[in-house]
Chain A
Amino acid sequence: NAGVMQNPRHLVRRRGQEARLRCSPMKGHSHVYWYRQLPEEGLKFMVYLQKENIIDESGMPKERFSAEFPKEGPSILRIQQVVRGDSAAYFCASSPTNYGYTFGSGTRLTVV
């Protein structure tokens, strides 16, 4: 049973481009969470999704950021028109219930 798979591991985007981050949860996990980690800081919650539904997006910036978890396929975190401040590690976690997260290895986004 593979863990939470995130890709790409590293992503470089120029300012103004779009970044698309993918997360495949563990088999049987229907809860997906996205967190952002700035250098030397803790993780900050962004969004919580279940299949086809956004449950809580209170940590997501109102503009340029969106997330989805379709019925088929991975969860996608999309950042439009990236800026330097978006440079961070983005972690996805999945859970079969409300507790007991398993995190992926993250996508490190660098905006140049």
Chain B
Amino acid sequence: QQQVKQSPQSLIVQKGGISIINCAYENTAFDYFPWYQQFPGKGPALLIAIRPDVSEKKEGRFTISFNKSAKQFSLHIMDSQPGDSATYFCAASGIKAAGNKLTFGGGTRVLVKP
């Protein structure tokens, strides 16, 4: 019940295109859903996060869409740039679900072609 499933595993998009990554969770006690960006040899960096009381959150070119009834959330990267090429991880946590530890998806490797 602690799983977070992420798809696709990899994604190639042209510069200026939209990258879409999807995640699904099982545990309804999760109440915090962050997305992390990781470059090779670096640690994950928090990109954007959402709580279940809102259905969408936008920060610059990054948007999280959240569907509480379907237990799904997604990351949209608008106007994708070569510098966005990285691995993206969705995650979930919640005090009642799992203390405050994060459960990560398997990651999506995004390549933005110039």
* A contacts, CB < 8 Å to B: 4, 31, 33, 35, 40-45, 48, 55-56, 58-59, 91, 93, 95, 98-106
Contacts and interface: CB of A to CB of B under 8 A. Distances in A.
Contacts of A48: 99-101
B27 to A, nearest CB: 14
B93 interface: yes
Closest 4 CB pairs of A and B: A103-B43, A42-B104, A98-B100, A45-B101
Given A42-B105, A43-B89, A99-B93, A106 B100 contact: no
A59 B101 CA distance: 10
B103 interface: yes
Interface of B: 6, 32, 36, 41-46, 89, 93, 95, 99-107
Contact of B95 (A42, A44, A98, A100): A98
Given A42-B89, A56-B101, A59-B101, 4 more contacts: A43-B89, A44-B104, A98-B95, A105-B43
Nearest to A59: B101
